[in-house]
Amino acid sequence: MKKIFTVLALAAVVAVSANAQSKLGSLLGNLGGSTLGNVLTNAAGAIYSGPVSLNGSYSYNGIAVSVTSSEGGVLSNLAGTAVTSGIESKADEYLAKIGVKPGAMTWTFNNADNTFTLNVAGISIPGKYKVGDGEKTVTLSFGKSFQFLDMPGTLESTMNGARMTFTSAKAMAFFKKLAGALSQSSSQISSIAKLADGYDNYRIGFKLSKL
């Protein structure tokens, strides 16, 4: 099965549109520490499909990114390609500087009352959530500590859990509030919004591994 997933991941990379491929070289150059090896590794982990039930606990496993690119009037979704994996790798570097990294943040969802608890660096942040459209969409609603931030987004299953993505504006608002809760500067967060310059429909979220 692992070989099958690897082949599918490589096929996803090859399937990037001609326009996206032309941008990839300059993108990887701008991403500094990212290498083609870790980009391909991240691409393999980004394969997903179908709805997911959120009930239970999940470990944060890194940033999830989705962008689109237009080539000859044809709009292509680049989720799970080398382009998005390169952006994810750099975004993970920025977030690690404020203490948000794989294994350091957990989410627990309770379908019984549609509540969730976000735990990071010893801080618990409660909220409510709603799943819709056949378990393909999710809305996270935070309380007073996050100024009642609402985050409508997409919800998708992965090989080991789930992933949620939101508009860039909503995701940036969330991470800036999270940086404040952790008494960290939000300067690193602002840099994430610039990583997808030249692409459209920049969506950012979380890769979650089921515990």
Instruction: Report the percent of the chain where pLDDT is more than 90.
Output: 46
Total domains in the fold of the chain: 1
The answer to whether 133 and 139 are in contact (CB under 8 A) is no
Residue type, 183: S
Q: Which residues have CB under 8 Å from 69's CB, separation 6+?
A: 17, 19, 20, 23, 75, 76, 78, 83, 199, 200
| pLDDT above 50 for 88 | yes
Structural domain boundaries, residue 121: 2-210
pLDDT of 199: 78
**Highest mean predicted confidence (pLDDT) among 13-17, 57-61, 118-122, 188-192:** 57-61
Instruction: Report the percent of the chain where pLDDT is more than 70.
Output: 70
- Distances from the Cα of 94 to the Cα of 37, 79, 197, angstroms: 20, 20, 17
pLDDT of 135: 84
**Highest mean predicted confidence (pLDDT) among 30-39, 64-73, 133-142:** 133-142
pLDDT of 59: 96
pTM attached to this predicted model: 0.75
